[in-house]
Chain A
């Protein structure tokens, strides 16, 4: 837990340093009052101070007792995330609903541990219902890809 606390606080500190650097390139004060650099700079300075405080605090007070994530949990999260990224990468080509149907099926089967039949059922049902809600009722032009033509 301690390591994770530190990593997140360091992420916040790095982000604020980038924002401070970026806002220094912008007009800080104009003749009409504060410029576009004013608020980002001050809020990033406070964010930097707060995240440094959190880093110090994590060294001093947080006990390294509880594990942030188990290796099993990490494996599950990474598989989910990689699958989702692949689905997003192909969804314009393959069709959003098709890509997501395959994604839903694989997640139900391998991560949620359902049998093939129910995983496939979920995938098909989710696709058909989504098609009717989003494409047909709400008129959202989802990329049809291999399944149907949007235009």
Chain B
């Protein structure tokens, strides 16, 4: 079978000692980044991206995907231990994980959540390996009109789901589009909004993400100077290995969480965070004893943990098959693929099969390593978080500065990163979601080319987006996804709250 051969090719590339070392390193770094509050999947990939420029695309993407998956494992550590979710997808894990910790079952919660995460990852990776090439085959005949509609749908759905204020999400989406318009226009070569010659090729995408997710986060960290207090962690090493009867008890919840996570991950706009909320609430609704949720139900840890890991594999389906990411983290990965000269979309499976199948194979390997690391190395991670948080700000700044410098071997991109660091700081503090912004920065140039190509085909008539059935359907989904939160907002009249969900 095709998939087997391709997967074997991926594994063949992965099983070199350098790549295995990179995946192991990426898994550990990802777990730490996920566990440290404030830094999430997008930050992890963004900060390490400049490091990969000297590597081959396959090694680089093996490293980046293992970091991405690692953050999903990592967020739960601080969530369970001290009730501080390391990143947004771990918020639900704290709901029952921390009560379990207080009851002296923290080790079990940690072990079970690692296994649920692993199983969720496996389910989604199988769907990814089968689904992505299939979707790519269906969409290989998409024209520019369908592509444009697809990107509009991706931006609309992420705006409708990110944060609570639709206006703020839309502001971020269009700020992203505007930023992406700087520099030479891809169709005519006309140079737009470039007061400095360095901007003729546009604002470097990597400098933007280093700013928003790296320096912006450091600024918050510097301002608040909050340190996590682990107190005396009472985890017994033996408890980290769950018994078979513990595992059997959570298998149904894990299965359901995995399916929900995979499906939600595939949907554009909804990432790991949304997946965990749906998985948790559906598990609570289905339970015979819903009252125990929030008080230390082990299913309440297994379901969201399997869902957030499954969302990674799910999110890679549209990223690889269509070139349209659904979340901040995958948007950064799309940026990485473009940096390496690859054009994600249906053709990537024929143009760069080695890279695609290496990504998929490295997910399998990383998932396995993460399972082991997240059981055996928990004491190491706890100490690493305890120590590293004290030196985090200067060290992350150092990585940001070196990363931004290495983009063009000059200080210009460091200044760009600094500017976007300030913008990212305000975004975070005022609850402007980062996901739509990053997605728009990456997608806008591609969307503009598709838009203009479509209008050339139709002699300038916009009807091309409404007469072709697939384009029309995608546009309608985009419209509906924007109207629903708007109507909901009108009903509540002005319920602008500050739910902090970062993607």
Contact = CB atoms under 8 A, between A and B. Distances in A.
Contact of A43 (B177, B225, B398, B432): B177
Contacts of B395: 104, 122, 126
Contacts of B171: 9, 12, 47, 50-51, 54
A61 B402 contact: no
B411 interface: yes
Interface SS majority for chain B: helix
A64 interface: no
A142 interface: yes
B406 interface: yes
A15 B402 contact: no
A85 B418 contact: yes
A4 B430 contact: yes
Nearest to B390: A112
B174 interface: yes
Contact of B190 (A19, A36, A57, A92): A36
A69 B429 CA distance: 9
Nearest to B184: A36
Given A54-B171, A60-B494, A142 B456 contact: no
B406 A140 contact: yes
Contact of A50 (B53, B167, B390, B397): B167
A122 B430 CA distance: 33
B100 to A, nearest CB: 32
Contacts of A62: 496
Interface stretch (B197-205, B254-262, B447-455, B471-479): B447-455
A22 B409 contact: no
Interface in A78-99: 80-81, 84-85, 87-88, 91-92, 96
Nearest to B227: A112
A92 B93 CA distance: 46
Contact of A96 (B190, B193, B405, B455): B405
Interface residues of B, number: 55
Contact of B426 (A8, A16, A44): A8
A23 B190 CA distance: 11
A23 B182 CA distance: 11
A74 B460 CA distance: 51
B394 A108 contact: yes
Contacts of B430: 1, 4-5, 8
A128 interface: no
A140 B402 contact: yes
B167 A77 contact: no
Nearest to A137: B54
B394 A112 contact: yes
Given A12-B175, A108-B394, A33 B167 contact: no
B174 A36 contact: no
B51 interface: yes
Interface string A35-74: 1101110011011001101100100111000001100011
Given A50-B171, A140-B402, A142-B402, A26 B190 contact: yes
Contact of B406 (A12, A76, A84, A134): A134
A35 to B, nearest CB: 7
Given A22-B192, A27-B190, A33 B460 contact: yes
A100 B393 CA distance: 12
B170 interface: yes
B190 A84 contact: no
Interface string B156-184: 00000000000110110011011001000
Contacts of B218: 80
Contact of A47 (B178, B398, B444, B496): B178
Given A47-B174, A87-B401, A77 B223 contact: yes
A149 interface: no
A90 to B, nearest CB: 10
B219 A43 contact: no
B222 interface: yes
B192 A100 contact: no
Interface string B60-82: 00000000000000000000000
B54 A112 contact: no
B354 interface: no
B245 interface: no
A19 B176 CA distance: 13
A35 B202 CA distance: 17
Contacts of B426: 4, 8
Nearest to A139: B54
B383 interface: no
A111 B398 contact: no
> Would you list the 4 A-B pairs with minimal beta carbon distance, nearest first?
A33-B455, A104-B394, A36-B190, A47-B174
23 contacts: A5-B430, A9-B171, A27-B190, A34-B451, A36-B192, A39-B181, A39-B448, A40-B178, A43-B181, A50-B170, A57-B167, A62-B496, A69-B429, A73-B224, A74-B223, A81-B418, A81-B422, A91-B411, A103-B397, A112-B391, A126-B398, A134-B402, A140-B409
Interface of B: 51, 53-54, 167-168, 170-171, 174-175, 177-178, 181, 185, 187-188, 190, 192-193, 218-219, 222-225, 390-391, 393-395, 397-398, 401-402, 405-406, 409, 411, 414-415, 418, 422, 425-426, 429-430, 432, 444, 448, 451-452, 455-456, 460, 494, 496
